[in-house]
Structure 1
Amino acid sequence: MIELVHKESQWEILSQLGTGSFGRVVKAKKINCDGTGIIIDICAIKIIKKSVFTKNEIEILKQLDHPLIVKYYGYGVGENDDNIYIYMEYIDGYPISSILKKQPKNHFPEDIISKIVIDLAFILSYIHGDERKIIHRDLKCDNIMLVNDNSHSCEANCSINGGSAKPLNNQLIESCVCNLNGSGTDENCKSCKLNSRPIREIQSSCESCGSDLDEASTSSLPNTTKSTTCRLINCIYSVSKKIKLIDFGLSKGCDGDSKYYSLVGTSTHMPPEVALRNNTACRKSDIWSLGCTIIEMAGGNLFEKDIHGKPKIPDHLSSSCKNFIQRCLTIDPTHRDDIINLISHNFIDRNRVNEEVKVDSKSKIQFDDEFNEVILSGDLDGVTEVVFGFDFNQPIIPGTMSSVKKIEFGGSFNRELLVDSLPSAISITFGARFNNGNKPLVVGAIPSTCQYLTFGWTFNQTIHPRCLPDSLKQLIFLEGGNFNRILEVGSIPRSVTTLILGDYDQKIEKGVLPNSLTTLELGGEFNYPLEGCIPESVTSLSLGYRFNQPLTNNCIPPCCKILKFGLYFNQDLSPGILPQSIETLMLGYYFNKELVEGSLPSSITTLLYEHRDYPKKVHADFYELTNLSKDLDQNEIVPLTPESLPESITKLTIGKNQNHIIAFNCLPPDLQSLKYHGGFSRALIPRDLPSSITSVKLYNYNYEIKKTSFPKSVTSLQLGSRFQKFIQIQSLSNLHQNMRDLKIYIHDDELDIYNLEDIIPQTITSLIINGENIDLPIGVEK
């Protein structure tokens, strides 16, 4: 169905399904043009202003034909208004975000999460595939619908509704309602064979799980009749077993290596490459959002971060689920797993994968977790990719895997890797327990074809010179791992461009790291002087949370563009110490040294003072070693000055250890984004913020807002007052008409959202109060 012109006379609006910055979505039924009133279609219509409409979403939806993705029918141009109408499948169901709020402790059981994740994995593998190359860019619980399946409900099959089911013993039943949890009742619906009972006997809670029941009027029955549904996910999912992904409004095509600077999506689910707008947003950005969505379904707080800036993973989850999330939340997208690798993870329901993933050839074999048999000659002939399950722990016999290019071992594998056992492998990933059978690696164990090598947490064997092949490009020791052997000259091949050293804690001598390196992440425990040990070729350097050594001239590579200091770095940055090549600089939570003119190079565009509410705990002797306790007790406040901030900065984040940075003419003139965790000694006045700024986040601002407080360039504003009541709520009405996105945190348990109806400007299209999305206009329900 494609409508060139949308005629209101042909549609009856049944209800409003949602609102957002794009416009609104309604449920509608189409009426024949001949005036008979016969319904020929029911769909969801997305209504968007022409001024903000692009054909991007339509072009994306046209390419999609998948049972787990909302269907697209066509679009029309408003006949009597300036709107665009996009016609899509109406999904009878609930966003899993709304179901989540009704669960005990606000989280789903892990087995349900696994089932939803496998559906999401199938969806992402479909849209990410080479045929489509699409990024969703807004994956979250709000955009995942749990579909109602009414075809097997007692209510649909009851004789009173025209179905064939008859009540037992010819007793008159006003209506049948499926007892989804399977507990026994006095009546049984013969049609669907699910337990049921007369509506008059249904209680206000689910008999099996005790959850409150939702009630909804059924138009085809007497007014006194209600249909009743359990609100718990394990009851609902037992009938539905199906999700659908919606809202492709932010989606983009990703042809080849296409990347994006755009700051789009939901902040809690936004991957670091999108938040930094460093032109590396890609298909793997959806993988980060998938990890955040699992944490969301597991009841985690996405605002609570660890020392690396990643959302904290709930403790109650299994180790398999935690590992799956960790692989989604790899900071560097080039090292983050793609969806094909994740489908092979043991958290995924392997039986469903085997049933639903159709393998066109024998090029890839994926073993179940329970598989633990010796691979014999001929078993894997022609196979190029092998993924072992968790239990596999058998020796790899040379000659059995001659064609294998990519191999991933499960968590239990810990056999000595023999020479020529993987002669053609390009990519090798070892699991958590691999330590080469507790023996050192020998030359030839890692083949000369290998380019990508990842060791798990247990690996801690000496790597002798020339042991690793000269073909190697990427070498990773997982974060939190045991590897801590002294590296000699020649241990790391001269071909390696990316090196990640987990929690490495050894001094690195000059010449040990090859000049081929461009990306280097030193371990979280590393705390040695840098002078002479970092190759000049490194363009991206990350230092672990313990690092707190004084910097000297030329210790940072002259071509370094991205420089990240960890939690405890708090050393002087004298003028000239940092090279003029740096574009992105992240300073740790405890950094509080004075910055003077020249401290920061004029090349910097992004400056972040990393803010952490819950820094990682370390041993007491470490506090004494670095004298951090003294620094914190003094709580010295060092304000920033106009001279200390280069004019090149366009994005600035200030942690809560800094204060009083908002002063006349202090901020860079081309600043576009400001995130500030500090306190304020006065209200904002005109010209405090530059006219270039578009996004402002002030976490502890608690002053009256005047019409001149924010430049008219600001379209996105976040205000928080976490420790005291926001006393100037009325002044929100002074926000200028260009404001579109507003997020406020008000410490007031008695806050009534509806009292803000006449205060929030009508131009606001996205409103979040205390972390909850508010439907607009206020007072109008979805």
Structure 2
Amino acid sequence: IGFKGLRRLRSSRTLLLSPPPPPVSCAPPRTPSAGSADSPCGQAPFAEKSTLGCQASGAVMPLKGLSWRKGKQIGQGSYGSVFKAQDLDRGLIFAVKQCPQADPKHVEKMKMEIEICRTLQHPNIVRYLGFEDSSGGLFVFLEYVAGGCMSNILHEFGALTSATLRKATRDCCRGLLYLHTRNPPVVHRDIKASNLLVDSDFEVKLADFGCSKKDDCTKSFTTIGSVPWMAPEVILNKEGHGRKADIWSFGCTVVEMATAEQPWGANRFNSVMFALRHIGMTDEVPTLPNDYQDEECRDFVRQCVVRCPETRPRSRHLLTHKFLR
């Protein structure tokens, strides 16, 4: 089965920094060494046009003149490993997502992710800084978010408190509204706690756009995402699915943050096929535990995980819910 959700990706503890660094002078280009955690990486030679198009056409160009070195691996994205990195000239810390050139399919996916990320600018979206294309692979530069991913926070500290859950949900909803109202709109298609990053001030940011779609026609007919967070229409794939599938996954993520467990509960499904059948072909929905006392949160989740996508609220309407006020 070709679902990305069949394998649980390691959490992407990427990303928080500052605005993209301006070009700086550097030594002659050096090829990055993937085998050494502290080996410096320089800008590789480029043809007159980048692999993603020319600057005159508005397409993204590689970040030139940046001298940097790679640190330890801090996560795993949809189509590449994520490392901590440092600008050698100013010492700035950022994150770099690396995709080996030996995997053309993943390189192409990463280029599509770059085309989506390069136009996004919002406090609740991880910031794209640039890219580098060399013999060592395709490197995507992102802001470094010191707190890491939400799933790791849940694993370390347990379920969020009522106040922090409200804050995290509001931040995520704002980021989602920004994506869904872009022109053209962006559908994330893989919202879950491991794709939410948290900075040191508990600002929550949507990350990992490797499964995302940016198009005037938001409807998709591809089964993509992580199974326990998938909307029923994504699994059934009869009439396509779009932004409302993000709302379902968002509701599942709120349950995840409120319980520190997967949205359907720990060890609920003993196989992927059983999970697909249960989510896609029964009338059940993920819910908060019976003893969970925040009724406003319970109602918020209930609205997100309505099985009929047409009756789910949009992100704009969710922001007015009493739980987020």
TM-score norm. by structure 1 comes to 0.30
Task: Tell me the distance in 1 between the aligned counterparts of 2:151 and 2:233.
Answer: 25
> Alpha carbons of 1:110 and 1:254: their partners in 2 closer, same or farther (altered >3 Å)?
farther
The reply to whether residue 117 of structure 1 matches residue 169 of structure 2 is: yes
The reply to whether residue 85 of structure 1 matches residue 139 of structure 2 is: yes
Partner of 1:554: none
Deviation at 1:280, TM superposition (A): 2.3
More helix by share: 2
Partner of 1:99: 153
Deviation at 1:116, TM superposition (A): 0.8
Q: Are the aligned partners of 1:254 and 1:283 in contact in 2 as well (CA < 8 Å)?
A: no
Q: Are the aligned partners of 1:23 and 1:47 in contact in 2 as well (CA < 8 Å)?
A: yes
The reply to whether residue 332 of structure 1 matches residue 292 of structure 2 is: no
Equivalent residue letter for 1:102: E
Equivalent residue letter for 1:242: E
Deviation at 1:321, TM superposition (A): 1.1
Question: Residue 295 of structure 1: SS of its match in structure 2?
Answer: helix
Partner of 1:285: 245
Task: Tell me the distance in 1 between the aligned counterparts of 2:30 and 2:296.
Answer: 50
Deviation at 1:323, TM superposition (A): 1.1
Task: Tell me the distance in 2 between the aligned counterparts of 1:260 and 1:267.
Answer: 16
> Alpha carbons of 1:128 and 1:258: their partners in 2 closer, same or farther (altered >3 Å)?
closer
Deviation at 1:124, TM superposition (A): 0.9
> Alpha carbons of 1:95 and 1:21: their partners in 2 closer, same or farther (altered >3 Å)?
closer
Task: Tell me the distance in 1 between the aligned counterparts of 2:310 and 2:151.
Answer: 30
The reply to whether residue 319 of structure 1 matches residue 292 of structure 2 is: no
Equivalent residue letter for 1:318: D
Task: Tell me the distance in 2 between the aligned counterparts of 1:2 and 1:132.
Answer: 28
Q: Are the aligned partners of 2:77 and 2:97 in contact in 1 as well (CA < 8 Å)?
A: no
Deviation at 1:132, TM superposition (A): 4.2
Matches within 5 A, 1:131-530: 131-148=183-200, 240-255=201-216, 257-299=217-259, 300-303=261-264, 304=268, 308-315=283-290, 316-348=292-324, 350=325
Q: Are the aligned partners of 1:133 and 1:253 in contact in 2 as well (CA < 8 Å)?
A: yes
Provide Cα deviations, 1:134-160, integer angstroms capped at 9, x if missing partner: 111111111112211xxxxxxxxxxxx
Q: Are the aligned partners of 1:139 and 1:269 in contact in 2 as well (CA < 8 Å)?
A: yes
Which sections of structure 1, spanning at least 5 residues, go unmatched? 32-37, 149-239, 351-782
Name which structure has the greater RCO, CA cutoff 8 Å, separation 6+: 2
Question: Residue 347 of structure 1: SS of its match in structure 2?
Answer: helix
Task: Tell me the distance in 2 between the aligned counterparts of 1:57 and 1:279.
Answer: 25
Partner of 1:59: 115
Q: Are the aligned partners of 2:191 and 2:229 in contact in 1 as well (CA < 8 Å)?
A: yes
Q: Are the aligned partners of 2:151 and 2:193 in contact in 1 as well (CA < 8 Å)?
A: yes
Partner of 1:437: none
Partner of 2:53: none
Task: Tell me the distance in 1 between the aligned counterparts of 2:121 and 2:255.
Answer: 28
Equivalent residue letter for 2:286: P
Matches within 5 A, 1:568-717: none
Equivalent residue letter for 1:74: G
Question: Residue 156 of structure 2: SS of its match in structure 1?
Answer: coil
Task: Tell me the distance in 2 between the aligned counterparts of 1:337 and 1:102.
Answer: 32
Deviation at 1:30, TM superposition (A): 2.6
Task: Tell me the distance in 2 between the aligned counterparts of 1:279 and 1:287.
Answer: 17
Partner of 1:27: 84
Give the length in aligned residue pairs.
Answer: 246
Deviation at 1:318, TM superposition (A): 1.9
Which sections of structure 2, spanning at least 5 residues, go unmatched? 1-20, 24-28, 33-40, 43-67, 269-277
Q: Are the aligned partners of 1:127 and 1:133 in contact in 2 as well (CA < 8 Å)?
A: yes
> Alpha carbons of 1:25 and 1:337: their partners in 2 closer, same or farther (altered >3 Å)?
same
Question: Residue 101 of structure 1: SS of its match in structure 2?
Answer: helix
Task: Tell me the distance in 2 between the aligned counterparts of 1:99 and 1:266.
Answer: 19
Equivalent residue letter for 1:275: I
Deviation at 1:254, TM superposition (A): 3.6
Task: Tell me the distance in 2 between the aligned counterparts of 1:308 and 1:2.
Answer: 53
Task: Tell me the distance in 1 between the aligned counterparts of 2:184 and 2:127.
Answer: 16
Task: Tell me the distance in 2 between the aligned counterparts of 1:6 and 1:135.
Answer: 37
Task: Tell me the distance in 2 between the aligned counterparts of 1:47 and 1:341.
Answer: 37
Question: Residue 117 of structure 2: SS of its match in structure 1?
Answer: helix
Partner of 2:97: 46
> Alpha carbons of 1:28 and 1:288: their partners in 2 closer, same or farther (altered >3 Å)?
same
**Structure showing greater Rg:** 1
Deviation at 1:338, TM superposition (A): 0.7
Equivalent residue letter for 1:84: L
Quote the sequence identity (%): 32
Q: Are the aligned partners of 2:218 and 2:243 in contact in 1 as well (CA < 8 Å)?
A: no
Task: Tell me the distance in 2 between the aligned counterparts of 1:268 and 1:60.
Answer: 25
Partner of 1:735: none
Partner of 1:17: 74
Question: Residue 334 of structure 1: SS of its match in structure 2?
Answer: helix
Q: Are the aligned partners of 1:295 and 1:314 in contact in 2 as well (CA < 8 Å)?
A: no
Provide Cα deviations, 1:220-275, integer angstroms capped at 9, x if missing partner: xxxxxxxxxxxxxxxxxxxx2412221111111141x4311112111111111111
Question: Residue 84 of structure 1: SS of its match in structure 2?
Answer: strand
Deviation at 1:21, TM superposition (A): 5.2
Equivalent residue letter for 1:107: A
Deviation at 1:40, TM superposition (A): 4.9
Task: Tell me the distance in 2 between the aligned counterparts of 1:6 and 1:295.
Answer: 47
Task: Tell me the distance in 1 between the aligned counterparts of 2:317 and 2:262.
Answer: 26
> Alpha carbons of 1:265 and 1:6: their partners in 2 closer, same or farther (altered >3 Å)?
farther
Question: Residue 145 of structure 1: SS of its match in structure 2?
Answer: strand
> Alpha carbons of 1:258 and 1:128: their partners in 2 closer, same or farther (altered >3 Å)?
closer
Provide Cα deviations, 1:48-90, integer angstroms capped at 9, x if missing partner: 1341222211111111011221111111112x33x21111111
More strand by share: 1
> Alpha carbons of 1:339 and 1:21: their partners in 2 closer, same or farther (altered >3 Å)?
closer
Task: Tell me the distance in 2 between the aligned counterparts of 1:89 and 1:42.
Answer: 8
Question: Residue 121 of structure 2: SS of its match in structure 1?
Answer: coil
Deviation at 1:111, TM superposition (A): 2.2
Question: Residue 74 of structure 1: SS of its match in structure 2?
Answer: strand
TM-score norm. by structure 2 comes to 0.70
Task: Tell me the distance in 2 between the aligned counterparts of 1:42 and 1:286.
Answer: 31
Deviation at 1:2, TM superposition (A): 8.8
> Alpha carbons of 1:345 and 1:127: their partners in 2 closer, same or farther (altered >3 Å)?
same
Provide Cα deviations, 1:547-570, integer angstroms capped at 9, x if missing partner: xxxxxxxxxxxxxxxxxxxxxxxx
Equivalent residue letter for 2:304: C
Provide Cα deviations, 1:305-343, integer angstroms capped at 9, x if missing partner: 795132232221422111111110011211111111111
> Alpha carbons of 1:132 and 1:142: their partners in 2 closer, same or farther (altered >3 Å)?
same
Q: Are the aligned partners of 1:301 and 1:311 in contact in 2 as well (CA < 8 Å)?
A: no
Question: Residue 323 of structure 1: SS of its match in structure 2?
Answer: helix
Partner of 2:16: none
